[in-house]
Structure 1
Amino acid sequence: MSSAHRPTWEPARAKADVAHISQVQSKYATPTHTRLKFRRPGDTQKRSLQELKAELEAGENRAFVERHPDAEMPHAKQPKLITLEEDADDEDLRIPAANDDDDNEVDDEDEDDDEDDTEALLRELEKVKQERREQQERQEQSAKTQQQLSREEEIARGNPLLNLERALHGDKIPTASEPLDTPQERWDDDLIFRNQAMNDENALSKRGFVNDLTRTEFHKKFMSRYIK
């Protein structure tokens, strides 16, 4: 039963109770793995399975001899002999030399074909590299030309002798319908609270002041200009 719902129960029982003398300890709380595991001789050596098997068999044979010194060892294993088919080996050894010559000729032809293919691939690769270099050079030349034209245009615009209209009127070049002496409008000329102290009653009556700002002429013009 869990006592997580009463964490202050044990302290409230006080030390006078003798029940606290005997304690129950879980096996998971006991110290374990108190000794390090060291390497033993032979652990780091890489031996094949055949060697390990031979060593195991030798140990079994020694133990059997020690237990039964007079008995014959029944489990003594004789070394296995690999039997080879001598007839097949003789036929392989008696291969005529003409076949070797034919194989050599075929190998030479294959090598020549491989060399031709390699040369063709190298020529194609060199051609692709040359095309890429030419394309890169054309792009660099076009970029240099564009940069030079931009620089010349900037110099011409900055020189008042070459660009007289820009020197006289700035960035705004007058047109035929716009007079030269027209003053430039300010960005806040059409604000609602600008020029409110005018004494012209006709102008005041034309404005049509209202208490609701969403019904003013300024709000209508603003909405028609930007939220159309």
Structure 2
Amino acid sequence: VSAKDQPGNLTLKTRKAAQGPQTSDRSEFRVQLEAKEKKALADRKKAEATLTALPPDYENPFPEDADDVDAPGPPSEASSDEDDDSDEEEALLRELEKIKKERMQEEQAKQAEEEKKRQAEQQERMLRANPLLMADGAVKRRWDDEVVFRNQAKNQPKAKRQFVNDPVRSEFHKKFLSKYIR
């Protein structure tokens, strides 16, 4: 049995005690993570508040447009606005799906129509391709049908070959002599 046929690497390497994490307590990690998330959320809210808040000495240059801006209302109105927005989004998504379905149906109908046209054209080509089925057209003629010197070898009689046992009197020997000696 070859060493290559024998199984190898039957056990996986395991971590040793020094290779593990320093603290394996998950609750400590969770507490640290939650604290970092709260701090980041507070920082984000603080940054948003400073961006949206107006300075106390701010004077509106266009007071006639002041009533156009929506004033923040009670939280119930904000949630109803969000509900309205989500309802509108759902309605728009349904409308989008409906339009996509209609376009797919139109595309499929167009493809089916093109396939029918292609098959009809192919059938027409097949019918026209057979010269026996064509009543109006004649069979195509070859380019050399009207050549003057055509098929002249057919008219000459062929010499009958005879077997001669004598190499000096054979047809090959006679041609050879006439070609190279005479």
TM-score interval (norm. to shorter): 0.3 to 0.5
Q: TM-score, normalised by structure 1?
A: 0.31
Q: TM-score, normalised by structure 2?
A: 0.37
Higher RCO (CA < 8 A, seq sep 6+)? 1
Pair member with larger Rg: 1
